[in-house]
């Protein structure tokens, strides 16, 4: 039997944590916001299959960051730490995410 072992680095949790704090304009990062971030990461995997990864695939990093950021902003709001008015949190997170747009290079 083959087991896929995932390794953790700062790519899965911290970018979304920071983005959620920025979008909500949180006055501080609380323990609840950390817990919401960790829960959001874990919600993106299915561990019912024997040997399944405990983390989302690295190819899904943008959606992981989006999911984490929305959970963090929502928690900041619920805890009274948000300085921003939050409506459609997912849309606000998407609007705040950097979108790579590159100029076309032409040989001259």
Taking residue 54's Cβ as centre, other Cβ atoms within 10 Å add up to 12
Taking residue 106's Cβ as centre, other Cβ atoms within 10 Å add up to 5
What are the pLDDT digits (tens) for 67-89? 999 999 999 999 999 999 999 99
Q: What integer pLDDT is reported at residue 68 of this predicted model?
A: 96
pTM to 2 decimal places: 0.83
Lowest-confidence segment of 29-38, 45-54, 59-68, 89-98 by average pLDDT: 45-54
Q: Is the dihedral of CA 43, 49, 54, 56 positive or negative?
A: negative
Mean per-residue pLDDT for 24-44?
95
Q: How far apart are CA 65 and CA 94, in angstroms?
A: 10
3-state secondary structure of 40: helix
Q: What integer pLDDT is reported at residue 5 of this predicted model?
A: 53
Q: What integer pLDDT is reported at residue 6 of this predicted model?
A: 56
- pLDDT value at 36 more than 80: yes
């Amino acid at each position: 039997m083959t087991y896929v072992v995932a390794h953790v680095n700062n790519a899965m949790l911290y970018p979304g944590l920071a983005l959620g704090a920025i979008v909500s304009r949180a006055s501080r990062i609380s323990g609840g916001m950390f817990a919401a971030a960790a829960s959001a990461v874990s919600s993106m995997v299915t561990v019912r299959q024997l040997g399944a990864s405990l983390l989302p695939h690295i190819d899904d990093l943008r959606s992981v960051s989006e999911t984490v950021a929305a959970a963090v902003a929502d928690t900041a709001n619920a805890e009274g730490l948000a300085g921003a008015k939050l409506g459609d949190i997912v849309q606000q997170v998407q609007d705040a995410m950097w979108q790579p747009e590159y100029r076309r290079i032409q040989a001259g």
